[in-house]
Amino acid sequence: MRSFKHRLLMAFPYSLLMFLSSCLGINSDIKNRPAATMSNVKSTTSIYSIKVNTLDGQPFDLSTLKGKKILIVNTASKCGYTPQYEELQELHKLHGDSLAVLGFPCNDFGGQESGTESEIGAFCTKNYGVTFQMFQKVHVKGNEQHPLYKWLTDPALNGWNKDAPGWNFCKYLISEDGELLNYFGSGVKPMSQTMLDAIKK
């Protein structure tokens, strides 16, 4: 059964959702872990070795992003948080020299990303002018969990974190040398001061 929070996400416009979230405290379970509070344990495998494909099916070598921070986001086209695409694009435009924003469409939550890759690409371009790198649709949980999200959510692989996405638009920040720095829940906006501070560290 879907939680009260998740039913709200599907039922209300984004602006109203944010107001209700504030009043009802439904974002209290969002976890934001600043780098200063993390263990110094290193990951046991490299994120750069994981195979991913772009939205048009082309292999993408994550190792080409060494030297940049990476922000990994599980996205959806019909979610209360979908307007975050706009801030993700702004983040990409402002900090693209030092930060790579990577979007991974996902249909695991509320069936809110049921379209094909071509439909997803058209939606992102038409509605939000997305130019940051988008990838093929993946599963972020369950038996078909993509290896990237296995790495992001298994402490034995990434060194410390076990938090999996609880909904669409959860965010993982990776350091310039491939270490997982932070997990941010859906309610942490891409252009929030919390996010900007983490990116600048």
Provide the annotated active-site residues.
Answer: 79
Neighbours of 19 (CB within 10 A): 12
**CB neighbours of 92 closer than 8 A, spacing ≥ 6?**
99, 101, 131, 132
Q: How far, in Å, CA of 131 to CA of 6, rounded?
A: 29
Tokens of 89: 């694009």
Residue 50: Cβ-neighbour burial (10 angstroms; 0-12, 13-18, 19+): middle
Closest of 35, 158, 172, 151 to residue 99, by C-alpha: 172
Q: If DSSP codes are grouped into helix, strand and coil, which group holds residue 18? A: helix
Distance (Å) of CA 54 to CA 83, 136, 160? 22, 6, 28
